[in-house]
Structure 1
Amino acid sequence: MTGPRTSADRLGRLLNLVPYLLARPGILIAEAAADLGVTAKQLREDLELLWVCGLPGYGPGDLIDMAFDGDRVTISHDAGIDKPLRLNQDEALALVVALRMLAETPGIGTRDAIERALAKIESAAGDLADAPVTVKLPANQKKLEAVRAAVDSGHALRLTYYTAARDETTERVVDPMRMLMVGGFAYLEAWCRRAEGTRMFRVDRIDAFTELPEPSVPPVGAVPHDVSDGVFRPGPELPLVTLRVGRGSRWITEYYPVEQVQRDGAEWLVTMRVTDLGWAQRLLAGLGRDVTVLGPPELIDRIHAQATAALEQYAAPHALDAGEPAGR
């Protein structure tokens, strides 16, 4: 199989893709894919992602744009990517602070690369890098250290865990396998006896845990997850949600994994996989009129029922004002 397998590799390819295409207007997609060491299908997916990349504002002239002529592609607007990057003082300091924080985060396996990048930015920033800024780890650091110590003890754990996708708290016994950091969050990976499968538990969502006297013995079939592309790996078995998104809510295409984004006038048509329709309902209900749900029908019915119930609650005080008994 050709092509990168990690999100870091893809980011590097995307950063190189625009100047590569700018220097080769009208290049065949197959030829570009061969040069970049990816399949034509992967390159088309990268080009679709570039359509939602650009400068803050996300309006006309802010995003990268392309023109297709059969199997050929040309960058028609580069959104200023060809301009040299110049950091102001606030941006340079923000990078220094962020890298210092990252270097202190437990579980980071690329500390050498972080320290090299930090040294380069501190050198370029000069005296600004010595600004009196205190870097502190998140408030759940004590919990992280306690969970890590429990995992190192080799014992099973009883967890009280909040599942955001279903908005519920459950108790379960798990056999810990490892601790890891993904996307800036600490996770406990363990065999869940309740689900009879390997699960990832975000440490900040563990409300409480108890170390049990019995040893942690994950079964032979407990295989660690591949987290090279993140924790959430959408598959065809998950519900497919289709949305019509206004300008004010386009940020969801950056914050959540999406399968496809298409322009439709001033709006975008977005498709995304979700683990739970209840989670999607809560997310979309909070976005209001800026997002229209086009599918699946079950999600449309859920949101319609929720909106109807809310309207009925607003109508209830008026009924009391009209003289109806309060207990009716």
Structure 2
Amino acid sequence: MTAPRQSVDRLGRLLNLVPYLLARPGILVAEAAADLGVSERQLREDLELLWVCGLPGYGPGDLIDMALDGDRVTISHDAGIDRPLRLTPDEALALVVALRMLAETPGAGNRDAIERALAKIENAAGDLAGAPVAVRLPANAERLDRLRGAVDSGHALHLTYYTATRDETTERVVDPMRMLMVGGKAYLEAWCRRAEATRMFRVDRIDDFTELDEPARPPVEAVRHDVSAGVFTPGAELPLITLRVGRGGRWITEYYPVEEVRRTGDAWVVTMRVTDLGWARRLVLGMGPDVTVLGPPELIDRIRAQATAALDQYATPTG
């Protein structure tokens, strides 16, 4: 049994232990352990933990108190935990809605486990769970369903995809591998035949797609990305840029992965890696006076050239 599973089991046991003991003052520890299906040693460890649990404030009058006299135990102060955990109607309905949404989310883990949990909550909620609450993802719902169907059917796809880093729309054929949610956004992970590599395609940037008759055949080198730290994992091979941002541009340090942030007076010097200097150029130009580029020189030159070209548009002679 894994540690997280043990923690969950123990929490449930502790929540029910106090009302169980309240109903049986002076019960033998061995008898209580047998009823609860644990060893006597485990029950004593649970009782020791309960001794330091209670309501916020955690003064003597807030903690659970008990008398452990030899082989018998009596709860003398329950700190409000006087009944087994039960869901209120509102709590049960909230769980039903959340689980229904999770079931509609692509790549949200083991759907069978989600559906089993949903069935148990709906059964416990009774008639309340039958309320006409339809849960659908608010954006791209139809596209998500179609993409999920294509992945499940095992067919290759022809995509029309907008690449934000290069500000261009491309056509490509991909072999779908899976769909997943990362950072609240849906992605299609697939082998891209054009790039000859595994790629992550954001669903909201797929302008159009066609399911092909041919089956999807990702090659053996098509390895799934590790997205535990997010979709974008900056590496040493990517361009390094340095920006000085004012208070209005500080948001980029929370929105994008950065390597270093230093406070200098009323500004911050931010160092970050980017996938493409063209993307960095568009980012900086969009931030306006809130940012100054300190490096690399190539990025400074690109921004100066585009800014000069934009100013030249205002110098057109009149008449």
| TM bucket, shorter chain | 0.5 to 0.7
- Counterparts of 1:268 and 1:227, CA distance in 2: 29
1:134 Cα deviation from its structure 2 partner: 8.8
Name the aligned partner's letter for residue 186 of structure 1. Answer: A
- Counterparts of 1:292 and 1:281, CA distance in 2: 11
Q: Percent identity?
A: 74
Counterpart contact for 1:160–1:206, Cα < 8 Å: yes
Pairs within 5 Å for 1:87-236: 103=102, 105-109=105-109, 137-236=137-236
Counterpart contact for 1:166–1:276, Cα < 8 Å: yes
SS of residue paired to 2:213: strand
1:137 Cα deviation from its structure 2 partner: 2.0
Counterpart contact for 1:101–1:137, Cα < 8 Å: no
SS of residue paired to 2:139: coil
1:264 Cα deviation from its structure 2 partner: 0.8
* Residue number in structure 2 paired with 1:14: none
SS of residue paired to 1:109: coil
- Counterparts of 1:207 and 1:167, CA distance in 2: 13
Alignment pair present for 1:252 and 2:258: no
TM-score norm. by structure 1 comes to 0.59
Name the aligned partner's letter for residue 228 of structure 1. Answer: S
Counterpart contact for 1:165–1:275, Cα < 8 Å: yes
Name the aligned partner's letter for residue 309 of structure 1. Answer: A
Name the aligned partner's letter for residue 264 of structure 2. Answer: D
Compared CA separation, residues 110 and 173, structure 1 to 2 (3 A): closer
* Residue number in structure 2 paired with 1:282: 282
Answer 1 or 2: higher relative contact order, Cα 8 Å, separation at least 6: 1
- Counterparts of 1:285 and 1:101, CA distance in 2: 42
SS of residue paired to 2:269: strand
TM-score norm. by structure 2 comes to 0.60
SS of residue paired to 2:232: coil
1:196 Cα deviation from its structure 2 partner: 0.5
* Residue number in structure 2 paired with 1:264: 264
- Counterparts of 1:274 and 1:229, CA distance in 2: 16
What stretches of structure 2 of length at least 5 have no aligned partner? 1-93, 122-132
- Counterparts of 1:153 and 1:208, CA distance in 2: 18
* Residue number in structure 2 paired with 1:125: none
Counterpart contact for 1:100–1:135, Cα < 8 Å: no
Name the aligned partner's letter for residue 310 of structure 2. Answer: A
What stretches of structure 1 of length at least 5 have no aligned partner? 1-94, 120-132, 324-328
Q: For residues 172-220 of structure 1, give each alpha carbon's deviation from its aligned partner in whole angstroms, at most 9, with x where no partner exists.
A: 1111111111111111111111000010111111111111111111111
1:110 Cα deviation from its structure 2 partner: 8.4
Counterpart contact for 2:106–2:148, Cα < 8 Å: no
Name the aligned partner's letter for residue 305 of structure 1. Answer: A
- Counterparts of 1:197 and 1:142, CA distance in 2: 27
1:262 Cα deviation from its structure 2 partner: 0.7
Compared CA separation, residues 213 and 102, structure 1 to 2 (3 A): closer
Compared CA separation, residues 243 and 156, structure 1 to 2 (3 A): same
SS of residue paired to 2:236: coil
Compared CA separation, residues 110 and 242, structure 1 to 2 (3 A): farther
Q: For residues 238-284 of structure 1, give each alpha carbon's deviation from its aligned partner in whole angstroms, at most 9, with x where no partner exists.
A: 00010001011101100111111011111101001100111111111
- Counterparts of 1:227 and 1:299, CA distance in 2: 29
- Counterparts of 1:276 and 1:286, CA distance in 2: 16
Counterpart contact for 2:241–2:271, Cα < 8 Å: yes
Counterpart contact for 2:106–2:179, Cα < 8 Å: no
Compared CA separation, residues 285 and 297, structure 1 to 2 (3 A): same
Counterpart contact for 2:101–2:135, Cα < 8 Å: no
Counterpart contact for 1:188–1:201, Cα < 8 Å: yes
* Residue number in structure 2 paired with 1:292: 292
- Counterparts of 1:271 and 1:215, CA distance in 2: 44
